Structure 1
Amino acid sequence: MEHALWLLCATLAVSTLLYYLANMQSRRRHSGTGGGRRRILLPPGPRPLPLVGNLLDLRAGNLHHTLASLARAHGPVMRLRLGLTTAVVVSSRDAAREAFARHDGSLSARAVPDMARAAGFAERSMIWLPSSDPRWKSLRGVVATHAFSPRSLASARGVRERKVRDMVSYIRVHAGQPVDVGRAVYGGVINLVSSALFAVDVVDDVGDESAQGLRELVEELVEAIVKPNVSDLFPFPRPLDIQGWRRWTARRFHKLFRVLDGIVDRRLAEDEASSTSSKDDDTHGDFLGALLELMSTGKLTRGDVRAIMFDVFGAGTGTIAITVELAMAELLRHPSIMAKVRMELESALGNTKAIEEPDVVSLPYLQAVVKEAMRLHPVAPILLPHQASEDGVVLGGYAVPKGCTVIFNSWAIMRDPAAWERPDEFIPERFLDGEHETVGFRGREFKLIPFGSGRRLCPGLPMAERVVPLVLASLLRAFEWRLPDGVSAEQLNVTEKFTTSNVLAVPLRAVPIVIT
């Protein structure tokens, strides 16, 4: 114990010394002029303290709010020192455009948290692999082709629509009493994603132990990877895993791998049984089937299949469910907007009760509500950190050094007053005419980036932009929603709480009344 403590103190002392040396060298390199040529300065930012840097500046409140507040004082391209790690924070539409349009290739590497390296996961995950790695391109291609291509999404459309009807049926059982909207939608969306991709119901299939364990494990791992970790702030003691988070995460990963292996093994057994009988197997042709076919030909390993399953499941469920809850909260806060959505549904669908995916195309106001909900309340207010892979990147006139972590504050970017009029208000009409009418989710205008932009654009976007409006329209078509007794629209709390994603600090409770 004494030896470990001495080693920790010595390591931190060395880290502190190196911090000062690096800081002095950085000041010499990037300040003043030299050789008759003006040097590009590093971005401005709050003054860092020795060793801890600016960590104390970030300790209060939601991180995206705090970063936005600091950016108002120091500029839309701002430098922070996080322990011994240098980060540049991008907080405006124009700075985001410069980053993604001019330097996308140089900024598309990942700053990988130490816990993501547990059990070798980061080396197989398309979330964490650098975009220059051939394996990243291969895995991304597999997902784009077999999970989220128009053909793949069309083939699984019936499954998604059936799961949305199941969600509506579950809520109908509880009609007339307050329900936790987020929890009800989350359970339904988990089943939707897992059934569409893997033919497994995670929540309802009580007889399947593997499926039952998947939800809890995914949530634990996603939460663990974003936890503050000394190893990410001070690289030198990283091998010691001082807090034990990497070891803790590795155990969870191995448990998750057993769960995923169970799902894979069950499918392989079903396929083998199907091949020896005359019965048709209605699970053939889904995403898991495509993965297993690639594994059988040696194009993917079992480890690749595990990583892909975790990536698409872990990233897909939360975004859809949380966005629906946030959109519902804003509609309940704004009864006049809710009335416009209901009027559009009535006009476009007539007597049709069950909504199908193609129906939502004819609902432009509802689509505008979804866009405005994602703009105002992005599920990922801080995009997964990028990293500069080479020198020469200049943002806002400031140098971004090689190896620097680059943080995109999407919450601040999507509330940039230079890009949006009345940016803090919920106004779906802004997407129906004028300059914002053609703004989409792919981040090409760099002012609506809930899914990121450029090479690191979320691959699950095509599913989310189908499912979110489908779920929202189905809930509004089946029920009239009211706030619980004693709660007025003005009193509804939409304060945010940022943990692994941006959620309501007070979960939304509302009363569904069946529309006959």
Structure 2
Amino acid sequence: MKHTVVLALLLLLISFLLTYLLLVAVKSRRRRSSPLLPGPPGPPGWPIIGNLLQIIGKAPHRSLADLSRVYGPVMSLRLGSLTTVVISSPDAAREVLKTLDHVFSGRTFSETVRPIGHHEVSIAWLPSTSSRWRLWRKVLATKLFSRERHKATKAVRSKKAKELITFIIERGERGFSVDIARACFVTSLNVISNVVFSTDLGSYDSRASLEFQESLSRMMEIMGKPNLANYFPCLEFLDLQGIRKGMKMCSERLFQVFQGLIDARIAGRSLQAKPRDASIIDLLDSLLDLIQEDGSVDVNDIKHFLLDLFVAGTGTNSTTVEWALAELLRNPEAMANAKVEINFIVGPNRFVRDSNLLEFPYLQAVVTETLRLHPPSPFLIPRKAESDDAEILGYPIPENAQIVVNAWAIGRDPTVWENAERFEPERFLGRDIETIGKDFEMIPFGAGLRICPGISLALRIVPLMLASLIYSFEWHPKNLKNMFVPEDFNMDETFGFTLHKTRPIYSDTLEKAYNYFY
């Protein structure tokens, strides 16, 4: 019976592929009947699948970078039924993200988010011309990422960084190692959940109930998978990879947590007699106020808005911290420079505070150089050509083409960066970190209308966690186990929702903790 079902599915799949091939042939014939404009160059592809085999794998960002060296910074590919234009130079990125930002600000809907209706309400997928998109951007700019809100939540970030170090120390004293990236993920999660809900949603204790944390991690894992339905929409309903089922299951769990917190807050507000103190109002209070002020926003909109915040602001931060540590371990002189700077400012028997960050120019340069070499999202979020009269560096771009900006390749462009593949924080000393995304030589957060709105918070959380780890532990290679050789340190990467290290850094590479008094 089982074999019969599998055979039936295979026959069904073959019939769909044959139908698709016929449609492609008809479409190609129609195109040949009219004069063709010279579009961007690109490698020849196979029937039906196009160029998929040339990029799908563990390192598609590297595959596309290699192809762009042959076909140029504006390159055309066919990924199944999807025409894709790949951008791999600062000049081409400037045209897409600045000069023609209004033309390329649309999104190619991912079939990964469609099953939960996220593309209809998410700030990441809404058209930049919509009033809802402008509303959410305003909320983020004024209620979450403004200077006033960062100042008001400074103590929260410092407290969570201290909890991270305390956890690692206590685990070490009991003889257990800690996955540094996972611990930083929990820290990032709790920073955001306290700013939004005034409570922790993550736990370092693996024995605790971690439904929210695990569901969030699982959703990010699913979103990082190449989805065949994006390239062959006719296969979407089959859910061959289980992506539709997995997204629905994870989102339901996350939305249940959000709904419970929202219901509890509404009930608490109804019982509150005195006006609320504006200094302790968190984001959830502001969002509930928005429902009363703007009749077009409801609780479902807020839940999807919150989903964007937690997905975008957790794994990206923890991944960056781990890559920064990895690069410092491979470059002992840079590690020593960072430690001297931090020790001088913080002093003995204290802990790193958020207020110290502006006094760490070398550490800031380390973070910037890490983002250049290891952007958390190598391709950003793909854009879409919304007309057929746009050009990039003189190449006409077909309407509805997917525009992929290879931020990883741009950050390593040897025509822009001297010693492009080397980790050299010194190149950013004296350079304002807030220029990231404005000069298009490195765009880890994107640029233009679609630039990541959380850049200001990320550039506080990441340096704070990294400085705390450097200050609190002895990372010098002579104290590391297993005859550590910096040049041989494993830097393999795995492509997913974020570009993360294949082999995590564990705390058992530390010899001891010091300088930390609690």
TM-score exceeds 0.5: yes
Cα distance, 1:201–1:399 mapped onto 2, change above 3 Å: same
Distance in 2, matches of 1:27 and 1:362, equals 63
Task: Identify if the C-alpha distance between structure 1 residues 174 and 213 changes in structure 2 by more than 3 Å, giving closer, same or farther.
Answer: closer
Query: Please, which of 437, 459, 480 is the counterpart of residue 443 of structure 1?
Result: 437
Distance 2:89 2:11 in 1: 45
Contact 1:124 1:304 in 2 (8 A): yes
Post-superposition offset of 1:459: 1.1
User: Which position in structure 2 is the counterpart of 1:410?
Assistant: 407
Question: 1:279-298 counterparts in 2 under 5 A?
Answer: 284-297=280-293, 298=295
How far 1:175 sits from its partner (Å)? 4.3
**Unpaired runs of at least 5, structure 2:** none
SS at match of 1:481: coil
Query: 2:219 pairs with 218, 221, 233, which one?
Result: 221
* Matched AA of 1:307: H
Q: Which moved more, 1:410-419 or 1:246-255?
A: 246-255
For 1:444, the aligned partner's letter is: K
2:106 corresponding residue in structure 1:
109
The 3-state SS of whatever aligns with 1:106 is coil
Residue 28 (structure 2) pairs with residue 23 (structure 1) = yes
Change (3 A) 1:356 1:205: closer
Measured after TM superposition, the shift of residue 508 of structure 1 is 1.2
User: 1:222 offset after TM fit, Å?
Assistant: 2.3
Contact 1:333-1:492 at 8 Å conserved across structures: yes
8 Å contact from structure 2 (residues 155, 354) kept in 1:
no
Alignment partners' CA distance in 2, 1:147 and 1:30:
51
Question: Which secondary structure state, in structure 2, belongs to the residue aligned with residue 95 of structure 1?
Answer: helix
Alpha-carbon distance change, 240 to 342 in structure 1, aligned in 2, over 3 angstroms: closer
Greater alpha carbon shift after TM alignment, 337-346 vs 450-459: 337-346
Q: Secondary structure at the match of 2:453?
A: coil
Q: Which residue of 2 aligns with 1:478?
A: 472
Q: Output the CA distance in 2 between the equivalents of 1:446 and 1:465.
A: 18
Distance 1:345 1:229, change over 3 A: closer
Is the Cα–Cα contact under 8 Å of residues 30 and 42 in structure 1 kept in the other structure? Answer: no
1:204 offset after TM fit, Å?
Answer: 3.0
Cα pair 1:113 1:225 within 8 Å, conserved: no
- The offset of 1:28, in angstroms, is 5.9
In the TM superposition, what is the alpha-carbon distance from 1:124 to its structure 2 partner? 1.1
Check whether the contact 1:156–1:286 (CA below 8 A) recurs between aligned residues.
no
Task: Report the 3-state secondary structure (helix = DSSP H, G, I; strand = E; otherwise coil) of the residue aligned with 1:503.
Answer: strand
- Secondary structure at 2:125's aligned position in 1? coil
- SS in structure 2 at match of 1:115: coil
**Cα distance between partner residues in 1 of 2:131 and 2:22:** 38
Note the alpha carbon deviations across 1:250-309, whole angstroms, 9 max, x for none. Answer: 333223221211122222233344x15x79889941111211221244352011110111
Rounded to whole Å, the distance in 2 between the matches of 1:5 and 1:334 is 52
Segments of 5+ residues of structure 1 without an aligned counterpart are 32-38
Query: C-alpha offsets along residues 435-483 of structure 1, whole Å, 9 cap, x if unaligned?
Result: xx34645411001111111111111111001111111112222222243
Instruction: Provide the C-alpha distance between the structure 2 equivalents of 1:137 and 1:266, rounded to a whole number of angstroms.
Output: 28
C-alpha displacement of 1:400: 1.2
Q: Is the 8 A contact 2:219 2:246 kept in 1?
A: no
Question: Which of 358, 361, 364 is the aligned partner of 2:358?
Answer: 361
Residue of structure 2 in register with 1:204 after alignment: 203
Which of 338, 341, 344 is matched with 1:344 structurally?
341
Summarize the Cα distance change of 1:61–1:223 in structure 2 as closer, same or farther, 3 Å threshold.
closer
Q: In 2 relative to 1, CA 279–238 (structure 1 residues): closer, same or farther, beyond 3 Å?
A: closer
3-state DSSP class of the match of 1:81? strand
1:89 counterpart SS class: strand
CA RMSD of aligned residues (A): 2.7
**Cα separation, 1, equivalents of 2:53 and 2:471:** 48
Alpha-carbon distance change, 166 to 380 in structure 1, aligned in 2, over 3 angstroms = same
Matches within 5 A, 1:368-447: 368-432=365-429, 437-438=431-432, 440=434, 442-447=436-441
Matched letter for residue 198 of structure 2:
A
Residues 38-72 of structure 1: CA deviation (Å, up to 9, x unaligned): x4x11111101111111111234411111111111
Following superposition, the deviation at residue 238 of structure 1 comes to: 4.1
| Conserved 8 A contact 2:152-2:279 | no
Counterpart of 2:475 in structure 1: which amino acid? W
CA contact (8 A) 1:118 1:253 kept: no
Deviation of the 1:230 alpha carbon: 3.2
Q: Flag the 1:223–1:204 CA change in 2: closer, same or farther, 3 A.
A: closer
Offset at residue 384 of structure 1 (A): 1.2
Paired letter, 1:285 = I
User: Is the contact between residue 291 and residue 305 of structure 1 (CA under 8 Å) also seen in structure 2?
Assistant: yes
TM-score, with length taken from structure 1: 0.90
Q: Distance in 2 between matches of 1:418 and 1:205?
A: 44
Q: Kindly indicate whether the alpha-carbon contact (under 8 Å) linking 1:213 and 1:259 is maintained by their aligned counterparts in 2.
A: no
CA–CA separation in structure 2 for the residues paired with 1:74 and 1:265: 55
Q: Secondary structure at the match of 2:86?
A: strand
Residue in structure 2 matching 1:100, options 97, 112, 119: 97
1:21 maps to amino acid = V
Are residues 1:251 and 2:245 paired? no
Q: Match for 1:56 among 47, 53, 58?
A: 53
Q: Does 1:185 find its partner at 2:179?
A: no
Question: Which residue in the other structure is 1:271 paired with?
Answer: 269
Q: Distance in 1 between matches of 2:450 and 2:260?
A: 30
- Equivalents in 2 of 1:253, 1:202: separation in Å? 15
AA aligned to 2:182 is R
CA, structure 1 residues 102+64, in 2 after alignment: closer, same or farther (shift >3 Å)? Answer: same
After TM superposition, the structure 1 stretch with the greater mean CA deviation from structure 2, 77-86 or 351-360, is: 351-360
Is 1:465 the equivalent of 2:465? no
Cα offset, 1:432, TM superposition: 1.6
Distance 1:327 1:233 in 2: 34
Cα distance in 1 between the residues matched to 2:110 and 2:246? 14
Displacement of 1:355: 2.2
Deviation per CA, 1:334-379: give whole Å up to 9, x if none: 1111111112123334447222223111211110000001111111
Deviation of residue 484 (structure 1)? 2.6
Q: SS state of the match for residue 480, structure 1?
A: coil
Q: 1:63 to 1:350 in 2, by over 3 A?
A: same
Q: Following TM superposition, by how much is the alpha carbon of 1:392 offset from its aligned partner in structure 2, in angstroms?
A: 2.0
1:495–1:241 Cα change, 3 Å = closer
Instruction: Give percent identity, aligned residues only.
Output: 36
Residue 36 of structure 1: aligned partner: none
CA offset digits 1:64-85 (Å, max 9, x no partner): 1111111112111111111111
Three-state SS of the structure 2 residue aligned to 1:416 is coil
User: Post-superposition shift, 1:487?
Assistant: 2.3
Q: 1:490 aligns with which of 467, 487, 490?
A: 487
CA offset digits 1:136-175 (Å, max 9, x no partner): 1212222222111111222111111111111111122244
Q: Is the 8 A contact 2:216 2:250 kept in 1?
A: no
Instruction: Tell me what 1:452 maps to.
Output: 446
2:157 is the alignment partner of 1:163:
no
| Cα distance, 1:381–1:135 mapped onto 2, change above 3 Å | same
- Out of 421-430 and 442-451, give the one that drifted further: 442-451
Q: Which residue matches 2:327? A: 330
The answer (yes or no) to whether the contact 2:341–2:362 under 8 Å persists in 1 is yes
* CA shift in 2, pair 1:484/1:50, >3 Å: same
Q: Do the aligned residues in 2 keep the contact of 1:495 with 1:505 (CA within 8 Å)? A: yes
Q: 1:452 to 1:155 in 2, by over 3 A?
A: same
Offset at 1:491? 2.3
The amino acid across from 2:439 in the alignment is E
Q: So what's the TM-score if we normalise by structure 2?
A: 0.90
Kept after mapping to 2: 8 A contact 1:368/1:428? yes
- Aligned 8 A contact 2:212 2:253 in 1: no
